[in-house]
Amino acid sequence: MTCIICHQGETRPGTTTVTFSRDGFTLVVQNVPADVCENCGEAYVDEATTEELLHLARDLRQPGTGVVVREYDIAAA
């Protein structure tokens, strides 16, 4: 697909890092599958993967936890 940000590049399968931050809790998930623009690097994560990431963020959020860094587990998706 043509990138909706730069309107010049085409997206290709790749990976990205997704960061969630709320109320002092930050979750960083690395190596998330995405379509990435070859021109500007904008990443597009599909709906199913996004839902997985949101569930992960809800499950890992604990009082007093600051930053959690995880690798995306494609086997669990």
Please state the domain extents for the chain.
11-71
Considering the entire predicted model, what is its pTM? 0.85
Assign 50 to helix, strand or coil.
helix
What class, spelled out in words, does domain 11-71 have in CATH?
Answer: alpha beta
Tokens, residue 58: 């809800």
Assign 46 to helix, strand or coil.
coil
Question: How far is residue 18's CA from residue 9's CA, in Å, rounded to a whole number?
Answer: 21
Report the candidate in 64, 56, 37 with the shortest Cα–Cα distance to residue 45.
37
Mean pLDDT across 1-13: 97
Summarised one tens digit per residue, pLDDT across range 23-70 is: 888 999 999 999 999 999 999 999 999 999 999 998 888 777 789 999
Looking at residue 22, its pLDDT comes to 86
Question: How far is residue 28's CA from residue 2's CA, in Å, rounded to a whole number?
Answer: 27
